[in-house]
Amino acid sequence: MFQAERRDVAYQPPKLSAPKEQDQPRLVHVPDPDREDMYFPDIWLRDNCLCKECFLPQTLSRLPQLWNNLDTSVRVLRHSVDRDQKILFIEWSDGHASQYPFSWLRERDFSPANRQRYLRECYRPEQILWSGQDFEQIRQVFYYEELISCDAALRQWLYHLAVYGVAMVKDAPLEMDVLRRLSNRVGFMRRTTYGEEFSVRAQPGASNYAYLAAPLPLHTDMPYLEYLPGVTMLHTLEQSASPGGVNLLADAFYVAEMMRDRYPEQFRVLCQTPVDWADIGSDGDLKFHNIWRAPVINLDAEGQCMRINHSIPQRDSHFSVPVEQVRPWYEAMATFVGLAHEHSSRFKTTPGDVLTFNNLRLVHGRTGYDDTEHNVRHILGAFIDWDIVYSRLRVLRNARQLT
Ligand code: OGA
Ligand code: ZN
Ligand code: ZN
């Protein structure tokens, strides 16, 4: 047992030496009469044997026996291809025998083109980043009743949301259950400390900054949660007649990529400086103390932007980094905020609109507004998690492929 060390500097993975000969992948060559030949690592084929001992069809999953004592040096003794049946046969050095249909192999072919196809078509569509001036071009409208009644429309909405990070739904009734009905079409809503649906309207003395009539600068919702909600939906029930209450929206992945390109050192600082995010208080009877520590720009294992955290009111005054990291972070953040503002778009929703956007990627806000008894603004908000959205997209895609 050992205790994970909390490091002050970003962890640098050990430098990997060049692969030695014995580390080279041992590939099984599978000639395919109808298309390009395929090559599979031998150990991967052994791990993914489809026989009754190795695979359980009813759960579509691998059985664990092989891993009780995995022989990583397992080798192919003989392999052959039935060109008519289109099946690959393998006899293994551990005495096992396997068969793989070509249709199954083709789907999993390791060629760069096939891996790309799988990632785009099945895993997640590729995101297209945009700046404020592109907004009119990428802005697309979907109609509430169509989303409720038509699977093709539902799929187009979710696909657009995945690619561009924003989609506008129009003509929703001015009723309280619109976000619930939309969420149920996708799967289900995400509950947070503010409940399932929440009302954004001016409430003097409110305990959350968003519930004031003041300007709400660009932010992501709930950066203080490790599992923050993925998709934000804002349904306009009543809009302020004052000039304010205008929506602000920017693609923070676009901004991050600009910084990677133009200000690489500041980009590194925003990727590697953990920031403390906080929301401490109560909603109704529920008291909460939510804090999460993570950088503003979060990259995935391949270095792609995965999540942005940003909210001025919800950044903690604790900043648990060494003092020398503080000023560089402020310098980098000033650049980020300036660019996000410069590349933001502005528009004003009207009653019946549901603005939906990717809360891991976009920053959003609104200008301040006047709020009086006869001139109110009332927005209903709710969330759905990305896992639920992507799952629905894949199910809709598979259903369409079968018909
Ligand atoms: C929020 C928010 C936007 C708006 O409540 O977090 O972003 O238009 N509201 O009021
Ligand atoms: Zn097997
Ligand atoms: Zn918000």
Whole-number Cα distances in Å, 267 to 37, 128, 271, 296 = 42, 20, 6, 10
- First-last CA distance in the chain: 54
Q: Could you list which residues have their CB under 5 Å from ion ligand 3?
A: 221
CATH assignment at residue 110: 3.30.2020.30
Helix (H) or strand (E) holding 335: helix 326-342
Ligand 1 site-directed mutation target among 168, 197, 200, most atoms within 8 Å of CB: 200
Number of the ligand 1 atom closest to the C-alpha atom of 381 = 5
Q: Could you list which residues have their CB under 5 Å from ion ligand 2?
A: 49, 51, 53-54
Residues 245 and 373 in one domain: yes
Q: What token pair was written down for 60?
A: 């579509």
The total number of structural domains that make up the chain? 2
Residues 62 and 202 in one domain: no
Number of the ligand 1 atom closest to the C-alpha atom of 245 = 8
Residues 97 and 210 in one domain: no
How many whole angstroms separate alpha carbon 297 and alpha carbon 20? 35
Picking from 72, 98, 123, the residue at the C-terminal end of a domain is 123
Cβ–ligand 1 distance for 192 under 6 Å, the answer: no
Residues 177 and 107 in one domain: no
325 lies in some domain: yes
The bound ligand whose nearest atom lies closest to the alpha carbon of 100 is 2
φ/ψ (deg, to 5) at 155: -65, -40
**How far is ligand 1, taken at its centre, from the CA of residue 2, in Å?**
44
Cβ–ligand 1 distance for 379 under 6 Å, the answer: yes
Nearest by Cα to 125 from 316, 397, 328: 397
2 lies in some domain: no
Residue pair 386/231 in contact (Cβ under 8 Å)? The answer is: yes
The bound ligand whose nearest atom lies closest to the alpha carbon of 54 is 2
> pLDDT value at position 24?
76
Whole-number Cα distances in Å, 366 to 40, 240, 349 = 53, 12, 11
Give, in degrees to the nearest 5, the angle at Cα 310 between 304 and 312.
Answer: 165
Residue pair 57/49 in contact (Cβ under 8 Å)? The answer is: no
Residues 60 and 162 in one domain: no
Residues 114 and 203 in one domain: no
9 lies in some domain: no
CB atoms within 10 A of CB 118: 13
CATH assignment at residue 240: 3.60.130.10
Number of the ligand 1 atom closest to the C-alpha atom of 247 = 8
Cβ–ligand 1 distance for 210 under 6 Å, the answer: yes
Give, in degrees to the nearest 5, the angle at Cα 92 between 89 and 96.
Answer: 85
φ/ψ (deg, to 5) at 72: -75, -10
Tokens 């891993």 found at: 67
**Whose CA is closest to atom 5 on ligand 1?**
210
**Residue ranges with strand state E in 266-368:** 275-283, 286-294, 297-299, 305-308, 345-347, 354-358, 362-366
**How far is ligand 1, taken at its centre, from the CA of residue 170, in Å?**
18
Cβ–ligand 1 distance for 221 under 6 Å, the answer: yes
> pLDDT value at position 204?
79
pLDDT along the chain (403 residues), means of 10: 66 62 82 94 98 97 94 96 96 97 98 98 98 96 98 98 98 98 98 95 84 92 98 97 94 98 98 98 94 98 98 98 98 98 97 98 95 89 98 96 76
**Residue ranges with strand state E in 179-274:** 198-200, 216-219, 231-238, 247-251
Q: Which domain holds residue 285?
A: 128-402
Residues 184 and 255 in one domain: yes
The bound ligand whose nearest atom lies closest to the alpha carbon of 74 is 2
**H-assigned helices in 121-190:** 135-138, 144-149, 151-164, 178-186
How many whole angstroms separate alpha carbon 114 and alpha carbon 29? 16
Residues 97 and 157 in one domain: no
Nearest by Cα to 233 from 195, 306, 183: 183
Cβ–ligand 1 distance for 366 under 6 Å, the answer: yes
Cβ–ligand 1 distance for 30 under 6 Å, the answer: no
Residues 117 and 168 in one domain: no
Amino acid at 294: A
Residues 50 and 64 in one domain: yes
Helices (H) and strands (E) counted in the chain, each on its own, are 11, 21
Residues 78 and 132 in one domain: no
Ligand 1 site-directed mutation target among 212, 234, 246, most atoms within 8 Å of CB: 234
Q: What token pair was written down for 12?
A: 């640098």
Contacts within 8 Å (CB) and 24+ apart, 172-178:
172/144, 172/235, 172/352, 172/353, 172/354, 173/144, 173/352, 174/237, 174/351, 174/352, 176/380, 178/144, 178/235, 178/354, 178/380
How many whole angstroms separate alpha carbon 327 and alpha carbon 329? 5
**How far is ligand 3, taken at its centre, from the CA of residue 366, in Å?**
9
How many whole angstroms separate alpha carbon 38 and alpha carbon 31? 6
